[in-house]
């Protein structure tokens, strides 16, 4: 059995990384926009929104780092 060595060039990694960052930023923006709408409708208060945003952003960054290192 032959093992295939996967060779990722630096440009491939950079492109995938930029796509990942873009997708995560868009998802973060959409989720925050939805939470803002819920806040203005009175379903959630400001503190829940702040705590969620403070916890959600580092989780997104950690997911991006794990995804970046899984390319190698």
Question: Average pLDDT in the 24-45 region?
Answer: 81
Q: Does the structure show a pLDDT above 70 at 4? A: no
Structure tokens, 71: 């390319």
Cα–Cα dist 35/46, whole Å: 10
Q: For the chain, give the mean pLDDT.
A: 75
Which range, of 1-5, 11-15, 51-55, averages the lowest pLDDT?
1-5
| Residue pLDDT, tens place only, 38-67 | 888 887 787 877 787 788 778 877 877 776
- Longest CA span, the chain: 62
Region of residue 44 (phi > 0: left; psi between -120 and 50: alpha; otherwise: beta):
beta
Report pLDDT for 5: 56
């Amino acid at each position: 059995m032959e093992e295939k060595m996967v060779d990722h060039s630096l440009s491939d990694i950079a492109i995938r990384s930029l796509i990942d960052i873009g997708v995560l930023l868009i998802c973060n923006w959409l989720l925050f926009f939805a939470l803002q709408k819920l806040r203005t409708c009175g379903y959630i208060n400001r503190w829940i929104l702040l705590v969620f945003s403070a916890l959600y952003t580092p989780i997104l960054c950690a997911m991006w780092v794990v995804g970046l290192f899984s390319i190698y």
